[in-house]
Structure formats: structure tokens, C-alpha cells
């Protein structure tokens, strides 16, 4: 099927071109390129205002291509026939491409490893008998706030390094967006910490709240975060739900009594399993398999 | 189509409307600078194809090219103000088409 629909009675077919060079050369790359997009308008050229009204976008080919023809008009079909659905498709493609390009990892893989190992070391100090054990157990909340601050500083440094590598300003627009997204969950975590630490023996509840809210903070960045962040967030949230389900008074007392574990010890165990182990798994997974490992 | 007949299709920038160039402009709108290999890997285009589109966009003044030689040549691309305005106008026209289509 020819890409130009020219009628049999059209002067382009009836008139014999005078020279070889004046023949319309359909095999030329320029014509082939236009083939899928152009539609030939038969007959005399339309009056320009009428053409504008009818078909929107019109341009003409050089007259030398069709010497015997009246100058033909061509219509850019993709534009003239663009309806709301194709416009919507265009916008969807633009949005998807933009989202894919603005993928932002709020926790860099090295920072996750630092945080994970730090959590494991601190938890080991609190769980294994030694000189540090009483201090760590007594100051549960303060210890973990220090761990959080050290991890946050490490994460900031790694993000700063990767931002410089990409020649962006720090904090980048994406980092600011991420911070705004995670801020509510961190604020609630802070408020709950103040509330729960008024009572002794609430360490395990504080830990479970932190785990759940941290997971929610990660999931709040899911629209622009890579999939691994979402998995990490869900792991934290589900663990928190599981712990909340198990933390009935009877179960808690029977668990701590049978294993000679204090509530502080249980809190450290939970923190080691989540903030320690989950971050280490995430860090290694991103370093070896992730595309955006450095944030 | 009756509703979209009110849209002036001349507003749709032909340079941006092409699929490959639209993808390039979209990516350039997301970050201040894009290195050539990054664009290539993100768009899954051949070198020649990408260079041709980038050249077309550069010639029309939508894309700025920075060539640096550090340890090896490093070419980065960014969107110019003119390009940003054209891209914005293009998206606004698409939105207008969608809006009129819903009426």
C-alpha cells in the first residue's frame, strides 16, 4: 500500500515527468520517514484559513517534488488526529519516565550497612554479659537515640558524596522531598517515645513503635523510591504488626520468665533483628544487585 | 474530536512531539545534568540515534551541551530555559487536549 494516497485522476499520475530528476522518488529516506505520519490531501490546495480550521497543522513539500501537480498539502496526522486519549497516553509516558528518572534512595547501601552493624554491636553489648551490659540496659532509649544520630550522620555523608558525584546541589530537591515525606512518621515516633518512656519496662513497646513508624516512613517515599526501599519498609511494618500481636501481657511474661530475658533485653533483641539484620540484608542486596546503590 | 477541535495544534512543538526527543526532553527536565551514558542506558537508544536527537534539540536551542576533559572526555546535557519553556508549553497543550476531551 503506497503511503501517499493519490487518486488515479490526479495530475501527479496523469502528467508525465519531463526529466528523471523530477520523478517523485518514493524510496527516498525523507519520504519513508514521513510515510506513517502524513496524509495526502487530494485536489486543489485548500485555502489556508479553511485548512487551518479543518486540519490544524499544515505544511507543504517543495514544488519540485511534484512538478505537474498543484502544490500538495500534507497533514501531520499524529497531530491532526490527536485526541484526548492519545494526549493522555503521552502524558502518562512522560510521567512514568519522570518517575523512573527521579528514583531516589533515601538510605544508601553503605549507610544501611553502617547502621545495621552498629545496631548489632550495640545489641550484642546489651545481651552478652559484660561491663557495658548494665549501662546499655539502663539507658535503652538514650543508647538508641545515639545509634540513630550516628546512622543519620553516616547516611548524610554518603548521600552528600553521591550528590557531589552527580554534580547536584546538597540538599537536592529529591532529598528535600524525601525528608518532607518521612518527617511525619519521625515526629510521631518522637512523641510516642516521650510518652512511653515515662513508665519503666516499656522498652519493648518503644522498640515496636520505632520499628513500625520507621517502616511507615520508608513506605511514604515509595512513589519515588526504588523497590528495595518498599520491601524494607514492608518488612519493618509487618514485623511491627507481628510483635504487637504477640505482645500480650500473658505471652510477654511467660516468654521473659521462661528464657530469663528482661524486657530491656527483649527490646534489644527486637532492635538487633530489625534495625540490625534487615539493614545488613538490604545493604548487601543493594550493593550487589541494585542500580542506584549509592543513593 | 469535536471538543479537541478547539485546540490549536500548531501549539504542539513538532521537535518535541517526536517520541525519542520527547523522552530525552522528559529526562532532561528531571535533573540539571545528564551524562551521555546515563541517557543512553535510561532510554535504551543506540548511540547514533541518541546523538541525532540530541543534535536536533541542540540546534533548535532546547538543549545545552557541556564537554569536559577530565581523565577522559565527558559530555553532559542539560535543558536550556528555552527548552524548558517549550516543554512546559507542550505539556500544557496536551493537558488542554485531555481537558477538552473530558468535557
Chain B residues lying within 8 Å of A98, measured CB to CB: 26-27, 29-30
Question: Would an 8 Å CB–CB cutoff place B91 in contact with chain A?
Answer: yes
Ranges of beta strands (E only) in A26-183 are 38-40, 58-60, 73-76
Residue A48: predicted pLDDT: 45
Confidence category of residue B7, pLDDT binned at 50, 70, 90: low
Please check whether residue B51 touches A, CB under 8 A: no
Indicate whether A196 pLDDT > 60: yes
ipTM: 0.75
The length of chain A in residues reads 295
Nearest CA-CA distance, residue B47 and chain A, Å: 19
Distance from B42 to chain A by nearest Cα, in Å? 8
Does the pLDDT of residue B54 top 90, yes or no? Answer: yes
pLDDT recorded at residue A102: 67
Is A48's Cβ below 8 Å from some Cβ in B? no
pTM: 0.55
Give the one of A79, A88, A102 whose C-beta lies nearest to B12's C-beta: A79
Alpha carbons B103 and B101: distance in angstroms, whole number: 6
Residue A69, pLDDT above cutoff 70: no
What DSSP letter does each residue of A52-84 carry, written as one string? Answer: HHHHS-EEE--GGGSTTSPPPEEEEHHHHT--H
Closest by CA to A270, choosing from A286, A256, A258, A284, is A256
Kindly tell me the sign of the dihedral angle through the C-alpha atoms of A24, A26, A29, A34. Answer: positive
Return the DSSP state at A275: I
CA A93 from centroid of its chain's CA atoms: 15
Of B17, B76, B98, the CB nearest to A91: B98
B103 contacts chain A (CB < 8 A): no
Please give the mean pLDDT across all residues of chain A.
Answer: 72
Collapsing DSSP to helix, strand or coil, A277 comes out as: helix
Q: What is the mean pLDDT of residues A32-43?
A: 39
At residue A7 the predicted structure's pLDDT band, cuts being 50, 70 and 90, is very low
Confidence (pLDDT) at B8: 65
| Residue B31 pLDDT exceeds 60 | yes
User: pLDDT exceeding 70 applies to what percent of chain A?
Assistant: 63
Contact B31 A85 (CB under 8 A): no
Q: Are strands B34-35 and B63-69 parallel, antiparallel or unpaired?
A: unpaired
Q: Which residues contact A17 (CB under 8 A, 6 or more apart)?
A: A23, A24, A67, A68
- Name the pairing type of β-strands A58-60 and B73-79: unpaired
Determine the pLDDT at residue B83.
92
Interhelix angle A140-165/A203-219, rounded to 10 degrees, is: 20
Contacts of A140 (CB under 8 A, 6+ apart): A203, A206, A264, A267, A268
From chain B, pick out residues whose CB is under 8 angstroms from the CB of A80: 9
A209: pLDDT strictly greater than 90: yes
Contacts of B102 in chain A (CB under 8 A): 84
Q: B95 touching A, CB under 8 A? A: yes
Does the structure show a pLDDT above 70 at A234?
Answer: yes
A277 burial (CB, 10 Å; 0-12 / 13-18 / 19+) is middle
Give the least confident one: A9-23, A116-130, A142-156, B62-76: A9-23
How do residues A74-132 score in pLDDT, each as one tens digit? 434 455 456 777 788 888 888 877 777 766 677 788 889 999 999 999 999 888 888 88
Confidence of residue A276 (pLDDT cuts 50, 70, 90): very high
- pLDDT above 70 for A56: no
The answer to whether the CB atoms of A87 and B98 lie below 8 A apart is yes
A168 vs A96: which has the higher pLDDT? A96
Q: Spell out the long-range contacts of A250-259 with Cβ–Cβ below 8 A and sequence spacing 24 or more.
A: A252/A204
pLDDT of amino acid A178: 84
Looking at residue A128, its pLDDT comes to 86
B74 contacts in chain A (CB < 8 Å) = none
pLDDT band at B56 (very low <50, low <70, confident <90, very high): very high
When comparing pLDDT for A49 and B14, which is higher? Answer: B14
Terminal-to-terminal C-alpha distance of chain B: 11
pLDDT higher at A250 or B6: A250
Mean pLDDT, residues B47-54 taken together: 92
Q: Is B92 on the interface with A (CB under 8 A)?
A: no
If phi over 0 gives left and psi between -120 and 50 gives alpha, with beta otherwise, what is residue A73?
A: beta
The closest of B82, B26, B77 to B54, measured between CA atoms, is B77
Amino acid at each position: 500500500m503506497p503511503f501517499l494516497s493519490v487518486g488515479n485522476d490526479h495530475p501527479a499520475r496523469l502528467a508525465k515527468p519531463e526529466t528523471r530528476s523530477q520523478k517523485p522518488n518514493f524510496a527516498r529516506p525523507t519520504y519513508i520517514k514521513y510515510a506513517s505520519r502524513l496524509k495526502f490531501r487530494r485536489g486543489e490546495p485548500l485555502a489556508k484559513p479553511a485548512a487551518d480550521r479543518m486540519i490544524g497543522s499544515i505544511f507543504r513539500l517543495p514544488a519540485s517534488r511534484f512538478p505537474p501537480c498543484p502544490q500538495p498539502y500534507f497533514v501531520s496526522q499524529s497531530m491532526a488526529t490527536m485526541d484526548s486519549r492519545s494526549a493522555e497516553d503521552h502524558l502518562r509516558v512522560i510521567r512514568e519516565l519522570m518517575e523512573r528518572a527521579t528514583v531516589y534512595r533515601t538510605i544508601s547501601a553503605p549507610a544501611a550497612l553502617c547502621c545495621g552493624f552498629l545496631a548489632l554491636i550495640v545489641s550484642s553489648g546489651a545481651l552478652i554479659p559484660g561491663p557495658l551490659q548494665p549501662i546499655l540496659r539502663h539507658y535503652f532509649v538514650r543508647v538508641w537515640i545515639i545509634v540513630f544520630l550516628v546512622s543519620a550522620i553516616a547516611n548524610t555523608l554518603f548521600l552528600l558524596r553521591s550528590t557531589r558525584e552527580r554534580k547536584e546541589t546538597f540538599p537536592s530537591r529529591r532529598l528535600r522531598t524525601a525528608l518532607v515525606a518521612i518527617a511525619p512518621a519521625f515526629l510521631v515516633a518522637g512523641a510516642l517515645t516521650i510518652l512511653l518512656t515515662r513508665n519503666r519496662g516499656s522498652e519493648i513497646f518503644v522498640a515496636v513503635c520505632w520499628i513500625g513508624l520507621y517502616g511507615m516512613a520508608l513506605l511514604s517515599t515509595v512513589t519515588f523510591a526504588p523497590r528495595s526501599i518498599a520491601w524494607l519498609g514492608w518488612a519493618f511494618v509487618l514485623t511491627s504488626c507481628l510483635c504487637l500481636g504477640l505482645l500480650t501481657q500473658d505471652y510477654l511474661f511467660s516468654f521473659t520468665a521462661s528464657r530469663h530475658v528482661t524486657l530491656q533485653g527483649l527490646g534489644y533483641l527486637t532492635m538487633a533483628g530489625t534495625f540490625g539484620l534487615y539493614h545488613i540484608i538490604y545493604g548487601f542486596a543493594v550493593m550487589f544487585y541494585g542500580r542506584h546503590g549509592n543513593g | 474530536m469535536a471538543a479537541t477541535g478547539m485546540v490549536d495544534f500548531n501549539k504542539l512543538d513538532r521537535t518535541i512531539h517526536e517520541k525519542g526527543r520527547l523522552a530525552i526532553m522528559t529526562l532532561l527536565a528531571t535533573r540539571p545534568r545528564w551524562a551521555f551514558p546515563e541517557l543512553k542506558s535510561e532510554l535504551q537508544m543506540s548511540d547514533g540515534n541518541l546523538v541525532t536527537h540530541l543534535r536536533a534539540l541542540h540546534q533548535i536551542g532546547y538543549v545545552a551541551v557541556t564537554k569536559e576533559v577530565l581523565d577522559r572526555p565527558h559530555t553532559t546535557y542539560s535543558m536550556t530555559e528555552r527548552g524548558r519553556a517549550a516543554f512546559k508549553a507542550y505539556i500544557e497543550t496536551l493537558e488542554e487536549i485531555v481537558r477538552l476531551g473530558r468535557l
